[in-house]
Chains A and B, each alone.
Chain A
Amino acid sequence: MFEPAAPVDLSSGKYLKLWQGPQHPGITGNMSLELTTCGDEVVACKTHVGYLHRGFEKLMERRTFIQNFTIVCRIAVPEPTFNEYLYAAVVEELSGIKAPERAEWIRTFNLELMRLGSYLMWLGGVGAAFGQSTIYQWTVTHRDYILDLFEEMTGARVYHMYIVPGGVRGRLPEGFEDRARKVLDGVERLLMDVEKILFNNVVFKTRTKGLGVITKDMVDPYGITGPNQRAAGFARDVRRDSPYLMYDEVEWDVITGTASDTYERAWVRLQEMHQGIRIMRQVLDRMPTGGPFQTPLPNVLHWEVPKGETYIKAECTRGEYGYYLVTDGSQYVRRVHVRGPSYTHAIALMEKMAVGTNIADIAGLMVSLHTYPPEIER
Protein backbone atom coordinates (compact mmCIF):
# COMPACT_ATOMS: atom_id res chain seq x y z
CA MET A 1 0.00 0.00 0.00
CA PHE A 2 1.40 3.40 -0.92
CA GLU A 3 1.85 5.77 1.99
CA PRO A 4 2.25 9.44 1.02
CA ALA A 5 4.93 11.45 2.79
CA ALA A 6 3.81 13.94 5.40
CA PRO A 7 3.91 17.54 4.11
CA VAL A 8 6.98 19.52 5.13
CA ASP A 9 7.07 23.32 5.45
CA LEU A 10 10.54 24.25 4.26
CA SER A 11 9.99 27.94 5.04
CA SER A 12 9.78 27.14 8.75
CA GLY A 13 13.56 26.95 8.92
CA LYS A 14 13.30 23.62 10.67
CA TYR A 15 14.14 21.56 7.63
CA LEU A 16 16.98 21.44 5.16
CA LYS A 17 16.91 19.94 1.68
CA LEU A 18 20.03 18.04 0.62
CA TRP A 19 20.98 16.20 -2.54
CA GLN A 20 22.96 13.01 -2.28
CA GLY A 21 24.26 12.07 -5.71
CA PRO A 22 24.30 11.63 -8.63
CA GLN A 23 28.07 11.74 -8.07
CA HIS A 24 28.40 10.30 -4.61
CA PRO A 25 30.49 7.30 -3.61
CA GLY A 26 27.73 6.06 -1.36
CA ILE A 27 25.26 5.74 -4.18
CA THR A 28 25.55 2.57 -6.15
CA GLY A 29 25.81 4.20 -9.56
CA ASN A 30 24.48 7.42 -10.91
CA MET A 31 21.24 8.33 -9.25
CA SER A 32 20.40 10.92 -6.68
CA LEU A 33 18.40 11.16 -3.50
CA GLU A 34 16.58 14.39 -2.70
CA LEU A 35 16.60 14.32 1.08
CA THR A 36 14.66 16.55 3.43
CA THR A 37 16.29 16.56 6.84
CA CYS A 38 15.37 17.79 10.28
CA GLY A 39 18.60 18.00 12.24
CA ASP A 40 20.46 14.87 11.18
CA GLU A 41 17.33 12.83 10.62
CA VAL A 42 15.85 12.27 7.17
CA VAL A 43 12.13 13.08 7.14
CA ALA A 44 11.47 12.67 3.39
CA CYS A 45 13.27 11.14 0.43
CA LYS A 46 12.62 11.34 -3.27
CA THR A 47 14.72 9.41 -5.72
CA HIS A 48 15.82 10.72 -9.10
CA VAL A 49 16.93 8.40 -11.86
CA GLY A 50 17.67 8.91 -15.54
CA TYR A 51 21.32 9.92 -15.47
CA LEU A 52 22.23 6.74 -17.35
CA HIS A 53 19.14 6.41 -19.51
CA ARG A 54 20.21 5.16 -22.92
CA GLY A 55 16.91 3.70 -24.04
CA PHE A 56 18.05 0.09 -24.38
CA GLU A 57 14.55 -1.29 -24.78
CA LYS A 58 13.79 1.20 -27.55
CA LEU A 59 17.11 0.53 -29.27
CA MET A 60 16.38 -3.19 -29.25
CA GLU A 61 13.18 -2.65 -31.18
CA ARG A 62 15.23 -1.28 -34.08
CA ARG A 63 17.86 -3.99 -34.24
CA THR A 64 17.82 -7.56 -35.45
CA PHE A 65 17.83 -10.39 -32.95
CA ILE A 66 21.52 -11.10 -33.32
CA GLN A 67 22.47 -7.42 -33.13
CA ASN A 68 20.77 -7.09 -29.76
CA PHE A 69 23.07 -9.44 -27.92
CA THR A 70 25.84 -6.82 -28.06
CA ILE A 71 23.57 -4.30 -26.35
CA VAL A 72 22.05 -6.26 -23.49
CA CYS A 73 25.26 -6.76 -21.53
CA ARG A 74 25.45 -3.01 -20.93
CA ILE A 75 22.21 -2.89 -18.96
CA ALA A 76 23.87 -3.96 -15.69
CA VAL A 77 27.55 -3.07 -15.82
CA PRO A 78 28.88 -5.24 -12.96
CA GLU A 79 26.72 -8.20 -14.03
CA PRO A 80 26.46 -8.27 -17.82
CA THR A 81 26.19 -12.03 -18.13
CA PHE A 82 22.74 -12.29 -16.57
CA ASN A 83 21.47 -10.08 -19.37
CA GLU A 84 23.28 -12.18 -21.95
CA TYR A 85 21.84 -15.40 -20.61
CA LEU A 86 18.28 -14.14 -20.25
CA TYR A 87 18.19 -12.54 -23.68
CA ALA A 88 19.55 -15.76 -25.20
CA ALA A 89 17.02 -17.81 -23.22
CA VAL A 90 13.92 -15.86 -24.34
CA VAL A 91 15.04 -15.87 -27.97
CA GLU A 92 15.81 -19.60 -27.79
CA GLU A 93 12.44 -20.41 -26.27
CA LEU A 94 10.46 -18.54 -28.91
CA SER A 95 12.67 -19.90 -31.70
CA GLY A 96 12.54 -23.49 -30.48
CA ILE A 97 16.31 -23.67 -30.12
CA LYS A 98 17.95 -25.77 -27.42
CA ALA A 99 21.50 -25.06 -26.33
CA PRO A 100 23.77 -28.13 -25.95
CA GLU A 101 24.32 -29.52 -22.46
CA ARG A 102 27.96 -28.50 -22.45
CA ALA A 103 26.93 -24.90 -23.09
CA GLU A 104 24.44 -25.08 -20.23
CA TRP A 105 27.21 -26.13 -17.82
CA ILE A 106 29.50 -23.39 -19.08
CA ARG A 107 26.68 -20.86 -18.73
CA THR A 108 26.06 -21.98 -15.15
CA PHE A 109 29.73 -21.50 -14.30
CA ASN A 110 29.78 -18.16 -16.09
CA LEU A 111 26.79 -16.84 -14.15
CA GLU A 112 28.12 -18.00 -10.80
CA LEU A 113 31.54 -16.50 -11.48
CA MET A 114 29.80 -13.25 -12.35
CA ARG A 115 27.79 -13.43 -9.14
CA LEU A 116 30.97 -13.85 -7.12
CA GLY A 117 32.69 -10.96 -8.90
CA SER A 118 29.72 -8.69 -8.38
CA TYR A 119 29.38 -9.66 -4.73
CA LEU A 120 33.07 -8.92 -4.16
CA MET A 121 32.60 -5.43 -5.54
CA TRP A 122 29.54 -4.97 -3.37
CA LEU A 123 31.32 -6.30 -0.28
CA GLY A 124 34.05 -3.73 -0.78
CA GLY A 125 31.39 -1.06 -1.19
CA VAL A 126 29.65 -1.92 2.04
CA GLY A 127 32.99 -1.89 3.87
CA ALA A 128 33.83 1.51 2.42
CA ALA A 129 30.39 2.90 3.25
CA PHE A 130 31.03 2.14 6.91
CA GLY A 131 34.60 3.40 7.06
CA GLN A 132 36.60 0.29 6.19
CA SER A 133 38.15 1.12 2.84
CA THR A 134 40.78 -1.60 3.16
CA ILE A 135 38.09 -4.20 2.58
CA TYR A 136 37.35 -2.57 -0.76
CA GLN A 137 41.00 -2.84 -1.84
CA TRP A 138 41.11 -6.54 -0.93
CA THR A 139 37.86 -7.48 -2.61
CA VAL A 140 38.49 -5.50 -5.78
CA THR A 141 41.88 -7.18 -6.10
CA HIS A 142 40.26 -10.60 -6.03
CA ARG A 143 37.53 -9.42 -8.39
CA ASP A 144 40.32 -8.58 -10.77
CA TYR A 145 41.49 -12.21 -10.66
CA ILE A 146 37.94 -13.15 -11.61
CA LEU A 147 38.03 -10.68 -14.48
CA ASP A 148 41.25 -12.39 -15.59
CA LEU A 149 39.28 -15.63 -15.80
CA PHE A 150 36.57 -13.91 -17.80
CA GLU A 151 39.18 -12.52 -20.16
CA GLU A 152 40.54 -16.01 -20.68
CA MET A 153 37.10 -17.47 -21.18
CA THR A 154 35.50 -14.77 -23.30
CA GLY A 155 38.21 -12.40 -24.52
CA ALA A 156 36.79 -9.49 -22.51
CA ARG A 157 36.90 -8.40 -18.89
CA VAL A 158 33.61 -6.55 -18.45
CA TYR A 159 31.27 -6.83 -21.43
CA HIS A 160 31.84 -10.44 -22.42
CA MET A 161 29.19 -11.03 -25.11
CA TYR A 162 29.91 -14.70 -24.58
CA ILE A 163 26.51 -16.24 -23.97
CA VAL A 164 24.72 -16.06 -27.31
CA PRO A 165 21.46 -17.56 -28.54
CA GLY A 166 22.18 -21.23 -29.16
CA GLY A 167 24.99 -21.66 -26.65
CA VAL A 168 28.26 -19.91 -25.89
CA ARG A 169 30.87 -18.42 -28.20
CA GLY A 170 33.69 -20.80 -27.43
CA ARG A 171 35.04 -23.66 -25.36
CA LEU A 172 37.05 -23.09 -22.21
CA PRO A 173 40.79 -22.60 -22.73
CA GLU A 174 43.33 -25.31 -21.91
CA GLY A 175 44.01 -25.52 -18.17
CA PHE A 176 41.22 -23.07 -17.34
CA GLU A 177 39.62 -25.31 -14.73
CA ASP A 178 42.79 -25.48 -12.61
CA ARG A 179 43.32 -21.74 -12.74
CA ALA A 180 39.67 -21.18 -11.82
CA ARG A 181 40.02 -23.46 -8.79
CA LYS A 182 43.03 -21.46 -7.58
CA VAL A 183 41.09 -18.21 -7.86
CA LEU A 184 38.17 -19.72 -5.94
CA ASP A 185 40.54 -20.94 -3.20
CA GLY A 186 41.94 -17.42 -2.93
CA VAL A 187 38.50 -15.84 -2.69
CA GLU A 188 37.49 -18.33 -0.01
CA ARG A 189 40.49 -17.35 2.11
CA LEU A 190 39.67 -13.69 1.53
CA LEU A 191 36.09 -14.19 2.71
CA MET A 192 37.32 -15.70 5.96
CA ASP A 193 39.50 -12.65 6.52
CA VAL A 194 36.64 -10.30 5.69
CA GLU A 195 34.38 -12.14 8.08
CA LYS A 196 36.86 -11.67 10.90
CA ILE A 197 37.69 -8.06 10.18
CA LEU A 198 34.40 -6.59 8.95
CA PHE A 199 31.66 -8.70 10.43
CA ASN A 200 33.23 -8.83 13.89
CA ASN A 201 34.10 -5.16 13.88
CA VAL A 202 32.27 -3.32 16.64
CA VAL A 203 31.81 -0.14 14.59
CA PHE A 204 30.35 -2.05 11.66
CA LYS A 205 28.06 -4.02 13.94
CA THR A 206 26.90 -0.98 15.86
CA ARG A 207 26.12 0.99 12.74
CA THR A 208 24.44 -1.76 10.72
CA LYS A 209 22.45 -3.75 13.27
CA GLY A 210 18.94 -2.37 13.34
CA LEU A 211 19.55 -0.12 10.33
CA GLY A 212 17.08 -0.34 7.45
CA VAL A 213 14.86 -3.17 8.66
CA ILE A 214 12.67 -4.70 5.93
CA THR A 215 9.64 -6.21 7.61
CA LYS A 216 7.92 -9.27 6.18
CA ASP A 217 4.82 -7.35 5.27
CA MET A 218 6.87 -5.03 3.03
CA VAL A 219 8.12 -7.82 0.78
CA ASP A 220 5.18 -8.26 -1.59
CA PRO A 221 3.91 -4.66 -1.82
CA TYR A 222 7.39 -3.44 -2.66
CA GLY A 223 8.39 -6.31 -4.93
CA ILE A 224 11.42 -7.22 -2.83
CA THR A 225 13.40 -10.22 -4.05
CA GLY A 226 16.83 -11.78 -3.66
CA PRO A 227 19.04 -11.40 -0.58
CA ASN A 228 16.98 -8.43 0.59
CA GLN A 229 14.03 -10.81 0.82
CA ARG A 230 15.96 -13.82 2.12
CA ALA A 231 17.43 -11.74 4.96
CA ALA A 232 13.81 -11.24 6.08
CA GLY A 233 13.38 -15.00 6.43
CA PHE A 234 11.93 -16.02 3.07
CA ALA A 235 13.70 -19.06 1.58
CA ARG A 236 12.98 -17.99 -2.00
CA ASP A 237 15.52 -18.27 -4.76
CA VAL A 238 14.76 -18.58 -8.48
CA ARG A 239 17.58 -21.12 -8.84
CA ARG A 240 15.79 -23.40 -6.38
CA ASP A 241 12.13 -22.56 -7.03
CA SER A 242 12.20 -22.49 -10.85
CA PRO A 243 15.46 -24.25 -11.74
CA TYR A 244 17.19 -23.26 -14.96
CA LEU A 245 20.50 -24.22 -16.57
CA MET A 246 22.13 -26.92 -14.36
CA TYR A 247 21.13 -25.65 -10.92
CA ASP A 248 19.04 -28.72 -10.14
CA GLU A 249 22.14 -30.87 -10.76
CA VAL A 250 24.29 -29.32 -8.03
CA GLU A 251 23.99 -29.10 -4.26
CA TRP A 252 23.80 -25.83 -2.43
CA ASP A 253 21.78 -24.13 0.32
CA VAL A 254 19.41 -21.19 0.22
CA ILE A 255 20.67 -18.81 2.91
CA THR A 256 18.12 -16.95 5.00
CA GLY A 257 18.25 -14.52 7.87
CA THR A 258 15.86 -13.20 10.46
CA ALA A 259 16.79 -9.70 11.57
CA SER A 260 16.45 -8.27 8.05
CA ASP A 261 18.64 -5.26 8.76
CA THR A 262 21.74 -3.99 6.97
CA TYR A 263 24.02 -6.36 8.90
CA GLU A 264 21.84 -9.37 8.14
CA ARG A 265 21.67 -8.57 4.44
CA ALA A 266 25.46 -8.33 4.34
CA TRP A 267 25.77 -11.61 6.24
CA VAL A 268 23.39 -13.39 3.88
CA ARG A 269 25.39 -12.19 0.88
CA LEU A 270 28.65 -13.31 2.48
CA GLN A 271 27.24 -16.80 2.98
CA GLU A 272 25.87 -16.83 -0.57
CA MET A 273 29.37 -16.18 -1.85
CA HIS A 274 30.48 -19.39 -0.12
CA GLN A 275 27.53 -21.22 -1.69
CA GLY A 276 28.46 -19.83 -5.11
CA ILE A 277 32.00 -21.19 -4.71
CA ARG A 278 30.48 -24.54 -3.71
CA ILE A 279 28.36 -24.55 -6.89
CA MET A 280 31.27 -23.60 -9.12
CA ARG A 281 33.51 -26.36 -7.76
CA GLN A 282 30.82 -28.92 -8.57
CA VAL A 283 30.37 -27.47 -12.04
CA LEU A 284 34.11 -27.64 -12.69
CA ASP A 285 34.13 -31.28 -11.59
CA ARG A 286 31.16 -32.31 -13.71
CA MET A 287 31.32 -30.10 -16.77
CA PRO A 288 31.72 -32.11 -20.00
CA THR A 289 35.03 -31.46 -21.70
CA GLY A 290 33.86 -32.52 -25.14
CA GLY A 291 30.86 -32.10 -27.35
CA PRO A 292 29.25 -29.11 -29.04
CA PHE A 293 28.94 -25.78 -27.24
CA GLN A 294 26.77 -24.06 -29.84
CA THR A 295 23.61 -25.08 -31.68
CA PRO A 296 23.59 -23.86 -35.29
CA LEU A 297 21.36 -20.82 -35.71
CA PRO A 298 19.32 -19.85 -38.76
CA ASN A 299 20.88 -17.26 -41.08
CA VAL A 300 21.13 -14.52 -38.48
CA LEU A 301 21.02 -11.76 -41.09
CA HIS A 302 17.47 -12.81 -42.01
CA TRP A 303 16.41 -14.34 -38.73
CA GLU A 304 12.65 -14.12 -38.14
CA VAL A 305 11.60 -15.31 -34.70
CA PRO A 306 8.06 -16.77 -34.67
CA LYS A 307 5.26 -14.71 -33.20
CA GLY A 308 4.89 -15.20 -29.45
CA GLU A 309 5.72 -13.93 -26.00
CA THR A 310 7.54 -15.30 -22.98
CA TYR A 311 9.11 -14.30 -19.69
CA ILE A 312 12.22 -15.96 -18.30
CA LYS A 313 13.92 -15.09 -15.03
CA ALA A 314 17.13 -15.84 -13.20
CA GLU A 315 18.51 -15.16 -9.75
CA CYS A 316 21.13 -12.43 -9.96
CA THR A 317 22.97 -11.00 -6.94
CA ARG A 318 20.21 -8.51 -6.27
CA GLY A 319 17.22 -10.76 -6.81
CA GLU A 320 14.89 -11.67 -9.64
CA TYR A 321 16.18 -10.57 -13.02
CA GLY A 322 13.97 -11.30 -16.01
CA TYR A 323 13.40 -10.68 -19.69
CA TYR A 324 9.93 -10.36 -21.20
CA LEU A 325 10.02 -10.70 -24.98
CA VAL A 326 7.17 -10.16 -27.42
CA THR A 327 7.71 -11.04 -31.07
CA ASP A 328 5.48 -10.60 -34.11
CA GLY A 329 7.16 -12.94 -36.58
CA SER A 330 9.40 -10.26 -38.09
CA GLN A 331 13.16 -9.77 -37.89
CA TYR A 332 12.74 -7.33 -35.02
CA VAL A 333 11.42 -7.56 -31.49
CA ARG A 334 7.99 -6.06 -30.94
CA ARG A 335 8.75 -5.35 -27.29
CA VAL A 336 11.37 -6.34 -24.79
CA HIS A 337 11.07 -5.46 -21.12
CA VAL A 338 13.92 -5.93 -18.69
CA ARG A 339 12.83 -6.67 -15.15
CA GLY A 340 15.64 -5.73 -12.80
CA PRO A 341 15.42 -5.91 -9.00
CA SER A 342 16.94 -2.45 -8.63
CA TYR A 343 13.79 -0.94 -10.10
CA THR A 344 11.78 -1.68 -6.99
CA HIS A 345 14.56 -1.71 -4.41
CA ALA A 346 16.09 1.65 -5.29
CA ILE A 347 12.95 3.73 -5.79
CA ALA A 348 9.77 2.88 -3.86
CA LEU A 349 11.56 0.88 -1.17
CA MET A 350 14.41 3.34 -0.71
CA GLU A 351 12.00 6.26 -0.44
CA LYS A 352 10.19 4.46 2.35
CA MET A 353 13.22 3.20 4.24
CA ALA A 354 15.18 6.45 4.18
CA VAL A 355 12.58 8.18 6.34
CA GLY A 356 13.72 8.22 9.96
CA THR A 357 17.31 7.30 9.09
CA ASN A 358 20.30 9.30 10.25
CA ILE A 359 21.84 11.24 7.36
CA ALA A 360 25.21 9.55 7.97
CA ASP A 361 23.68 6.12 7.38
CA ILE A 362 21.94 6.87 4.08
CA ALA A 363 24.92 5.81 1.98
CA GLY A 364 25.26 2.54 3.89
CA LEU A 365 21.54 1.88 3.63
CA MET A 366 21.62 2.45 -0.10
CA VAL A 367 24.58 0.10 -0.52
CA SER A 368 22.87 -2.52 1.65
CA LEU A 369 20.02 -2.73 -0.87
CA HIS A 370 22.57 -3.39 -3.64
CA THR A 371 21.13 -1.59 -6.66
CA TYR A 372 22.35 -0.66 -10.13
CA PRO A 373 20.68 2.37 -11.75
CA PRO A 374 21.24 1.32 -15.42
CA GLU A 375 18.84 -1.58 -14.97
CA ILE A 376 16.24 0.85 -13.62
CA GLU A 377 16.45 3.16 -16.61
CA ARG A 378 17.06 0.61 -19.34
Chain B
Amino acid sequence: MATPTALLDELGKRYTLSEIHIQRDDLLFLKVTKPQAVRFLKDLRDDAGYTHLTFMTNIDYIEDGRFTLTYMLHNYDTHHEIGVHVDLDRDNAEMDSIHNLWAQGRTYQCELREMYGIRFPGSPGLDDDFCLEGWDQIPPMRKEFDIVAFSEERFGNRPGRGSTDPREHMGTVMYPEHRDGTEH
Protein backbone atom coordinates (compact mmCIF):
# COMPACT_ATOMS: atom_id res chain seq x y z
CA MET B 1 0.00 0.00 0.00
CA ALA B 2 1.42 3.38 -1.04
CA THR B 3 2.21 5.98 1.59
CA PRO B 4 0.07 9.13 1.44
CA THR B 5 3.01 11.08 -0.02
CA ALA B 6 3.66 8.50 -2.74
CA LEU B 7 -0.06 8.36 -3.41
CA LEU B 8 -0.21 12.12 -3.87
CA ASP B 9 2.76 12.01 -6.27
CA GLU B 10 1.03 9.34 -8.31
CA LEU B 11 -2.37 11.03 -8.34
CA GLY B 12 -0.80 14.42 -9.03
CA LYS B 13 0.30 13.15 -12.44
CA ARG B 14 -3.28 12.49 -13.49
CA TYR B 15 -5.29 15.07 -11.56
CA THR B 16 -5.08 18.77 -10.84
CA LEU B 17 -4.59 18.80 -7.09
CA SER B 18 -4.26 21.95 -5.02
CA GLU B 19 -4.37 23.26 -1.44
CA ILE B 20 -2.80 20.06 -0.10
CA HIS B 21 -2.68 20.27 3.66
CA ILE B 22 -1.37 17.58 5.98
CA GLN B 23 -3.26 18.05 9.23
CA ARG B 24 -1.95 14.95 10.99
CA ASP B 25 0.01 11.84 10.06
CA ASP B 26 -3.29 10.09 9.45
CA LEU B 27 -5.26 12.97 7.89
CA LEU B 28 -4.75 15.21 4.91
CA PHE B 29 -6.93 17.55 2.89
CA LEU B 30 -6.68 18.46 -0.77
CA LYS B 31 -8.72 20.11 -3.46
CA VAL B 32 -9.60 18.65 -6.85
CA THR B 33 -11.42 20.29 -9.73
CA LYS B 34 -15.11 19.69 -10.18
CA PRO B 35 -14.91 17.88 -13.55
CA GLN B 36 -12.29 15.47 -12.18
CA ALA B 37 -13.81 14.93 -8.75
CA VAL B 38 -15.95 11.80 -9.14
CA ARG B 39 -13.29 9.99 -11.19
CA PHE B 40 -10.74 10.97 -8.53
CA LEU B 41 -12.95 9.56 -5.77
CA LYS B 42 -13.44 6.35 -7.74
CA ASP B 43 -9.68 5.95 -8.17
CA LEU B 44 -9.13 6.51 -4.46
CA ARG B 45 -11.73 3.85 -3.71
CA ASP B 46 -10.73 1.24 -6.29
CA ASP B 47 -6.96 1.68 -6.59
CA ALA B 48 -5.79 3.25 -3.35
CA GLY B 49 -7.92 1.41 -0.79
CA TYR B 50 -9.99 4.36 0.44
CA THR B 51 -13.15 2.30 0.44
CA HIS B 52 -15.01 3.90 3.33
CA LEU B 53 -16.93 7.11 2.68
CA THR B 54 -16.85 8.47 6.20
CA PHE B 55 -19.13 11.41 5.41
CA MET B 56 -19.92 14.03 2.82
CA THR B 57 -20.73 17.61 3.70
CA ASN B 58 -20.54 21.20 2.52
CA ILE B 59 -18.97 24.45 3.69
CA ASP B 60 -20.54 27.79 2.75
CA TYR B 61 -18.06 30.54 1.86
CA ILE B 62 -20.69 33.19 1.20
CA GLU B 63 -18.13 35.99 0.97
CA ASP B 64 -16.38 34.23 -1.94
CA GLY B 65 -19.59 33.10 -3.65
CA ARG B 66 -18.66 29.44 -3.40
CA PHE B 67 -19.55 26.21 -1.72
CA THR B 68 -16.85 23.69 -0.85
CA LEU B 69 -17.99 20.07 -0.79
CA THR B 70 -15.97 17.78 1.45
CA TYR B 71 -15.79 14.03 0.88
CA MET B 72 -13.98 12.25 3.72
CA LEU B 73 -12.54 8.88 2.71
CA HIS B 74 -10.89 6.31 4.95
CA ASN B 75 -8.46 3.52 4.19
CA TYR B 76 -9.02 0.56 6.52
CA ASP B 77 -5.59 -0.92 5.83
CA THR B 78 -3.46 2.14 6.52
CA HIS B 79 -5.99 3.86 8.82
CA HIS B 80 -5.39 7.03 6.83
CA GLU B 81 -7.99 9.62 5.90
CA ILE B 82 -8.25 12.02 2.99
CA GLY B 83 -10.62 14.96 2.92
CA VAL B 84 -11.35 15.81 -0.71
CA HIS B 85 -12.58 19.35 -1.36
CA VAL B 86 -14.48 20.41 -4.47
CA ASP B 87 -15.47 24.02 -5.11
CA LEU B 88 -18.90 24.82 -6.54
CA ASP B 89 -20.42 28.05 -7.77
CA ARG B 90 -22.72 29.09 -4.95
CA ASP B 91 -25.35 30.58 -7.29
CA ASN B 92 -25.53 27.52 -9.50
CA ALA B 93 -24.48 24.72 -7.23
CA GLU B 94 -24.52 21.40 -9.04
CA MET B 95 -22.34 18.33 -8.71
CA ASP B 96 -22.11 14.86 -10.21
CA SER B 97 -23.70 12.16 -8.07
CA ILE B 98 -21.73 9.48 -6.23
CA HIS B 99 -24.68 7.18 -5.46
CA ASN B 100 -23.22 4.61 -7.84
CA LEU B 101 -19.96 4.56 -5.90
CA TRP B 102 -21.44 4.40 -2.40
CA ALA B 103 -25.08 3.47 -1.80
CA GLN B 104 -25.21 5.81 1.19
CA GLY B 105 -24.20 8.71 -1.07
CA ARG B 106 -27.79 9.36 -2.06
CA THR B 107 -28.73 10.11 1.57
CA TYR B 108 -25.99 12.73 1.88
CA GLN B 109 -26.94 14.24 -1.46
CA CYS B 110 -30.62 14.40 -0.54
CA GLU B 111 -29.65 16.25 2.65
CA LEU B 112 -27.32 18.65 0.85
CA ARG B 113 -30.04 19.44 -1.69
CA GLU B 114 -32.43 20.28 1.12
CA MET B 115 -30.03 22.13 3.41
CA TYR B 116 -27.92 24.02 0.84
CA GLY B 117 -29.85 23.75 -2.44
CA ILE B 118 -27.07 21.80 -4.21
CA ARG B 119 -28.28 19.73 -7.17
CA PHE B 120 -26.98 16.21 -7.87
CA PRO B 121 -28.60 15.20 -11.16
CA GLY B 122 -29.51 11.52 -11.27
CA SER B 123 -29.33 10.95 -7.53
CA PRO B 124 -32.37 8.81 -6.54
CA GLY B 125 -34.96 10.55 -4.38
CA LEU B 126 -33.04 13.81 -4.54
CA ASP B 127 -36.14 15.97 -4.16
CA ASP B 128 -37.71 13.92 -1.37
CA ASP B 129 -38.03 15.65 1.98
CA PHE B 130 -35.11 14.79 4.22
CA CYS B 131 -35.67 16.55 7.55
CA LEU B 132 -37.92 19.41 6.55
CA GLU B 133 -41.50 18.80 5.50
CA GLY B 134 -43.15 21.49 3.41
CA TRP B 135 -40.19 23.87 3.70
CA ASP B 136 -40.88 27.07 1.75
CA GLN B 137 -37.86 29.18 2.72
CA ILE B 138 -34.34 29.31 1.31
CA PRO B 139 -32.26 26.23 2.23
CA PRO B 140 -31.64 26.72 5.93
CA MET B 141 -27.95 25.86 6.16
CA ARG B 142 -26.98 28.62 3.75
CA LYS B 143 -25.30 31.43 5.62
CA GLU B 144 -27.83 34.04 4.56
CA PHE B 145 -30.68 32.15 6.24
CA ASP B 146 -31.28 34.07 9.46
CA ILE B 147 -32.63 31.70 12.10
CA VAL B 148 -33.44 34.52 14.53
CA ALA B 149 -35.53 36.47 12.00
CA PHE B 150 -37.24 33.24 10.91
CA SER B 151 -38.05 32.26 14.50
CA GLU B 152 -39.39 35.69 15.37
CA GLU B 153 -41.57 35.80 12.30
CA ARG B 154 -42.82 32.20 12.59
CA PHE B 155 -42.92 31.70 16.35
CA GLY B 156 -43.31 35.23 17.73
CA ASN B 157 -44.51 36.04 21.21
CA ARG B 158 -48.01 34.84 21.95
CA PRO B 159 -50.73 37.49 22.23
CA GLY B 160 -51.07 38.75 25.77
CA ARG B 161 -47.42 38.14 26.55
CA GLY B 162 -45.87 41.25 25.13
CA SER B 163 -42.93 41.33 27.47
CA THR B 164 -40.40 38.63 28.22
CA ASP B 165 -39.06 40.57 31.18
CA PRO B 166 -40.07 38.65 34.33
CA ARG B 167 -40.10 41.83 36.43
CA GLU B 168 -42.48 43.50 33.95
CA HIS B 169 -44.72 40.41 33.77
CA MET B 170 -44.93 40.02 37.53
CA GLY B 171 -45.57 43.70 38.01
CA THR B 172 -48.34 44.02 35.42
CA VAL B 173 -50.01 40.59 35.51
CA MET B 174 -49.31 38.84 38.77
CA TYR B 175 -48.95 41.60 41.35
CA PRO B 176 -50.27 44.83 39.81
CA GLU B 177 -51.12 46.19 43.29
CA HIS B 178 -47.42 46.27 44.16
CA ARG B 179 -46.22 47.79 40.96
CA ASP B 180 -45.01 50.87 42.74
CA GLY B 181 -42.25 48.73 44.23
CA THR B 182 -43.48 48.67 47.82
CA GLU B 183 -42.10 45.82 49.88
CA HIS B 184 -44.35 43.31 51.64
- Listed in ascending order, the chain A residues whose CB lies under 8 Å from chain B are 1-4, 48-50, 53, 55, 57-59, 61-62, 93, 220-223, 225, 234, 236, 241-242, 308-311, 313, 320, 322, 324, 326, 334-335, 337, 339, 343-344, 347-349, 352, 377
- Interface residue B99 (Cβ < 8 Å from any Cβ of A): yes
Offer 16 A-B interface pairs, CB within 8 angstroms, sorted by A: A1-B103, A2-B99, A2-B124, A4-B124, A50-B130, A55-B140, A59-B147, A220-B51, A222-B103, A234-B76, A241-B79, A310-B24, A311-B54, A324-B83, A344-B107, A347-B107
On whether the beta carbons of B104 and A344 are closer than 8 Å, the reply is yes
Q: Which residue of B lies closest to A340 (CB)?
A: B55
On whether the beta carbons of B102 and A223 are closer than 8 Å, the reply is yes
- The 7 A-B residue pairs whose C-beta atoms are closest, nearest first, are A50-B131, A337-B57, A339-B55, A53-B131, A221-B103, A220-B51, A335-B59
Q: Say which size band chain B's interface belongs to.
A: 35 or more
On whether the beta carbons of A221 and B104 are closer than 8 Å, the reply is yes
Report which of B76, B83, B100, B141 forms a contact with A311, defined as CB distance below 8 A.
B83
On whether the beta carbons of A309 and B54 are closer than 8 Å, the reply is no
Contact flag A324-B57 (CB < 8 Å), given A222-B104, A242-B26, A311-B81? yes
- Interface residue B94 (Cβ < 8 Å from any Cβ of A): no
On whether the beta carbons of B54 and A320 are closer than 8 Å, the reply is yes
Report which of A2, A62, A220 forms a contact with B106, defined as CB distance below 8 A.
A2
Given A1-B100, A222-B102, A335-B60, 8 more contacts at CB 8 Å?
A59-B147, A61-B143, A223-B54, A241-B76, A309-B83, A324-B72, A343-B104, A347-B107
On whether the beta carbons of A57 and B102 are closer than 8 Å, the reply is no
Report which of A58, A61, A223, A334 forms a contact with B52, defined as CB distance below 8 A.
A223
Of A2, A223, A241, A326, which is in contact with the most chain B CB atoms at under 10 Å from its CB?
A: A2
Docked Cα-Cα span, A46 to B124, in Å, equals 12
State which residues 73-101 of B face A: CB under 8 Å: 76, 79, 81, 83, 99-100
Q: Which residue of B lies closest to A343 (CB)?
A: B107
Q: Which chain B residues lie closer than 8 Å to A62 at the CB level? A: 147
On whether the beta carbons of B72 and A311 are closer than 8 Å, the reply is yes
Docked Cα-Cα span, A61 to B62, in Å, equals 13
